Amino acid sequence: MTNASLTLANAELILPDRVMRGRVRIEDGIIAEIAEGGEVPAGATDCAGAHIAPGLIELHTDNLERHIQPRPGVDWPHSAAIFAHDGELASTGITTVFDAVRVGSIPNDGGGYAKYARPLVSEINALSQAGRMRISHFIHMRAEICSETLLEELAEFGPQDRVGLLSLMDHTPGQRQFRDISKLAQYVKGKKGLSDAEFEEHVARLKDLRDRYGAAHEVGAVDAARQIGAVLASHDDTTPDHVAVSAGHGVRIAEFPTTDEAARACREHGIAVMMGGPNLIRGGSHSGNVAAEALARNGDLEILSSDYIPSSLLMGAFHLARLWDDLPRAFATVSDAPARVTGLTDRGRIEVGLRGDVIRLEDVGRTARVSGVWVGGVRSA
């Protein structure tokens, strides 16, 4: 998607190292000029002091699954769900997304663990290639270690599938995110409507699967990431030992470490720590794990994700800006840092030569309003 020429002038530009009153000119989808001053050249859009930021980059979102299954047992038409998801993200300032898709199923479980990844990824990629999406879409494979079919499902994908990220998910009850079984019970019973007896059966089944398949699935998923060409992420690391294993696998991103000890260990191993915007905005984890704000104050937070609330990515950036008193640093957690760690060298900053993915923000404060989104210089929201 390209546009012959677009100039956004008289704006507060959020640059990598400062905020500057000026203008940005985009030619054929690429940032061609950044100039200081409040002048509005002929043909330019007068932003009247609004902020212009790099487009947000989302690495881990469950939002697509919410559109595909809006109610338990309801399978919504995928193309409609994908378009709704795409439009919702664009409206919140996200210009690049890694759509999280689970691989690893439990056949005949009846509790939401059916196989779905292969056809869904094909649909996402086909719509993207046809130019029917508002924003850029890549795939984030959530490799569920505690499953039956992980290796078979991974074998269905290759480098052509735009899988940019593969995360090692181990949701075995009693460890990592759900060390506290009561938190797991609250989550699963609320989501799936299980009785006490059904929940106990669910826990026993998952533990049995981990015992039977866990080791082979972990090794296979790491190998699949290399074959596909995906960056490897860990999920819910809790102890320094977990982090050491992740580092040995070549993990580059730690999604939602659950303790400050794990987060510090990640940083010591050069693994970028990603935390959820909802955790940051709410002031804590819904699972009782470490608070994102605590990690931010300690300097252990590098990337934000919207997780299950798309609008929390932009809200989280401004929350960090207030916390750190540093708007460019805060916006780097939702643009430059996720771009760099996933190898997207063509975006993530307002910089000459990069893609013209930019957003305009009005009423900057606790809840900024997105008043314009351009992807490759083309207005998408």
**DSSP output for 77-88:** -HHHHHHHHHHH
Q: Model's pTM, two decimal places? A: 0.91
Q: How distant is the alpha carbon of residue 306 from its chain centre?
A: 6
- Please determine whether the domains at 1-54+348-381 and 56-346 fall in the same fold group of CATH: no
* Residue-range domain boundaries for the chain: 1-54+348-381, 56-346
Q: Any residues with CB less than 8 A from the CB of 204 and at least 6 apart, and which?
A: none
Which pLDDT belongs to residue 286?
73
Specify the 3-state DSSP secondary structure of 287: coil
Closest CA to 53 of 244, 332, 274: 332
Judged by DSSP in three states, 317 sits in helix
Residue 314, Cα to own-chain centre: how many angstroms? 12
Please report the pLDDT score of residue 242 as a whole number.
94
Q: How many helices (H) and strands (E) does the chain have?
A: 13, 16
Looking at domain 1-54+348-381, what is its CATH homologous superfamily?
Answer: Urease, subunit C, domain 1 (2.30.40.10)
Series of mean pLDDT values for 10-residue runs along the chain (381 residues): 81 98 98 98 97 98 93 89 98 98 80 83 98 98 92 96 96 62 61 68 75 89 97 95 96 96 96 97 86 97 97 96 97 98 98 98 84 97 96
Cβ neighbour number for residue 122 with a 10 Å cutoff: 13
DSSP 235: E
Measure the CA–CA gap between 38 and 133, rounded to whole angstroms: 33
Any bridge partners for residue 380, and if so which? none
Structure-derived torsion over alpha carbons of residues 235, 237, 243, 247, reported in degrees to the nearest 10: 0
Amino acid identity for residue 215 in this structure: A
- CA atoms of 266 and 380, how far apart (whole Å): 36
| Residue 323 burial (10 A CB sphere; 0-12, 13-18, 19+) | middle
**Is the alpha carbon torsion for 346, 351, 355, 360 positive or negative?**
positive
Fold exhibited by the domain 56-346: TIM Barrel (3.20.20)
Q: What pLDDT is stored for residue 335 in this prediction? A: 98
- The tokens describing 285, both together, are 């984890």
